[in-house]
């Protein structure tokens, strides 16, 4: 069945900006909704093994939810495009060609996910499209030189594409006029059960990774890759999340659960999430070298989202495909530097099914 795309007005920001919502769908199989505020993935409806369609992404039923004070006070990037840099940067600074750039702290004393006004809080220009076998929307934003103290004017495109098989792809493309750094991702929170009052500890998870990145007490990578063998981070076979996060381990204590980057062995089918109760299954492929896995450790029920549910600890899991966190300060890791004339490109694909 051919996918369809429709557009509507989702609402208006407190500043009066109109926000557009795009729905990409195949009837009875998948429905994806994305908005141009933050190039955000807002909804994902999938059937369970009985054909019941349910939304499996944490978020809000209305645009106003994204601006409620309770959420802003406990902000967690629900479904947002995160940039210029995903994750934390040590000492809120980095150097390029001998010049040090100091970044604003926006989570306590830490610079996180692009800063105070990152890409998650911008209105993007939307261009919907249709081809013979797919539909989608490309969001465009120009990040000016000096925004959040990052160098260079960066043009960035984020494209959501749904093809006739029901496969969803999120792709990124960026260019700069000055040497800069870039490492975007999407911060979707997913609970395949469709019941956000349940946690995801009963979900089974697989990630094709022999190594993960251990953290220091500030939740920053220490710059080494450690084998997952013999640790709670060994998900090289499908394992229930609860069986792993209950293991006594200092790394789990630091993050209050899993909030770690895994070094992927290969791009195809490199992560799987499965909920046995509903039968829903997600299989992920990516061109990125790593995936940051976050088990919703600091969700605390402080704001009410979809279905009138206050999202509590571990009510969802995040699978953030990206280069390694703080790579600009850790020469052991692949570079996140982007030069003028170069094009940054990244793709992540999601295949959904039932078993």
* Catalytic residue set: 187, 320
17 appears as a binding residue in the annotation: no
What is the DSSP code string of 234-299? Answer: --SS-EEHHHHHTS--HHHHHHTS-EEEEE-S-STT-EEEE-TTT-EEEEEEESSSEEEEE--TT-
Could you give phi then psi for residue 20, rounded to 5 degrees?
A: -100, 140
Q: What does the alpha-carbon distance between residue 298 and residue 254 come to, in Å, rounded to a whole number? A: 12
324 appears as a binding residue in the annotation: no
Q: What does the alpha-carbon distance between residue 200 and residue 274 come to, in Å, rounded to a whole number? A: 10
CA–CA distances in Å: residue 317 to residues 60, 104, 185, 224, 262:
17, 27, 15, 24, 15
Residue 236 CB-density burial (10 A; 0-12 exposed, 13-18 middle, 19+ buried): middle
- Write the CB contacts of 158 (distance below 8 Å, at least 6 apart in sequence): 39, 81, 124, 138, 139, 170, 171, 172, 184
Give the closest residue to 20 by CA, choosing from 41, 37, 3: 37
259 appears as a binding residue in the annotation: yes
**Strand, coil or helix: 263:** strand
Positive/negative CA dihedral, 212, 213, 217, 218? negative
Query: From the CB of residue 265, how many other CB atoms can be counted at a distance below 10 Å?
Result: 12
Residue 275 CB-density burial (10 A; 0-12 exposed, 13-18 middle, 19+ buried): buried
Q: What does the alpha-carbon distance between residue 270 and residue 240 come to, in Å, rounded to a whole number? A: 17
Give the closest residue to 78 by CA, choosing from 353, 271, 298, 241: 298
Query: From the CB of residue 209, how many other CB atoms can be counted at a distance below 10 Å?
Result: 25
Give the closest residue to 149 by CA, choosing from 115, 98, 112: 115
Q: Which helix or strand (DSSP H or E) is residue 245 part of?
A: helix 241-245
Annotated binding site for beta-D-galactose: 187-189, 259
Q: Give the annotated binding-site residues.
A: 187-189, 259
């Amino acid at each position: 069945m051919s996918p369809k795309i429709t557009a509507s007005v989702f609402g208006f920001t407190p500043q009066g900006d109109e926000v557009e919502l795009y729905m990409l769908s195949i009837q009875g199989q998948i429905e994806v909704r994305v908005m141009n505020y933050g190039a955000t993935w807002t909804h994902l409806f999938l059937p369970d093994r009985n054909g019941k369609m349910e939304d499996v992404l944490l978020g809000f039923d209305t645009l106003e939810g994204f601006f409620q004070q309770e959420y802003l006070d406990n902000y967690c990037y629900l479904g947002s495009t995160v940039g210029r840099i995903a994750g934390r940067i040590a000492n809120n600074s980095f150097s390029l060609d001998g010049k040090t750039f100091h970044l604003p702290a926006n989570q306590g004393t830490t610079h996180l996910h692009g800063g105070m006004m990152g890409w998650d809080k911008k209105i993007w220009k939307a261009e919907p499209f249709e081809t013979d076998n797919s539909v989608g929307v490309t969001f465009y934003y120009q990040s000016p030189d000096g925004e959040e103290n990052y160098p260079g004017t960066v043009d960035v495109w984020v494209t959501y594409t749904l093809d006739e098989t029901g496969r969803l792809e999120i792709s990124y493309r960026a260019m700069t006029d000055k040497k800069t750094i870039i490492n975007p991702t999407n911060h979707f929170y997913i609970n395949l059960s469709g019941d956000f009052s349940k946690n995801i500890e009963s979900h089974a998870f697989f990630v094709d990774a022999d190594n993960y990145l251990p953290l220091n007490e500030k939740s920053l990578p220490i710059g080494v890759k450690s084998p997952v063998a013999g640790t709670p981070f060994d998900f090289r076979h499908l394992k229930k999340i609860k069986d792993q996060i209950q293991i006594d381990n200092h790394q789990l204590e630091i993050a209050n659960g899993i909030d770690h980057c895994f070094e992927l062995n290969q791009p195809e089918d490199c992560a799987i999430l499965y909920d046995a109760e509903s039968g829903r299954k997600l299989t992920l492929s990516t061109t990125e070298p790593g995936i940051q896995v976050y088990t919703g450790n600091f969700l605390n029920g402080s704001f009410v989202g979809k279905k009138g549910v206050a999202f509590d600890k571990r009510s969802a899991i995040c699978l953030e495909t990206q280069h390694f966190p703080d790579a600009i300060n850790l020469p052991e890791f692949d570079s996140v530097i982007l030069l003028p004339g170069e094009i940054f490109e990244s793709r992540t694909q999601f295949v959904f099914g039932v078993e």
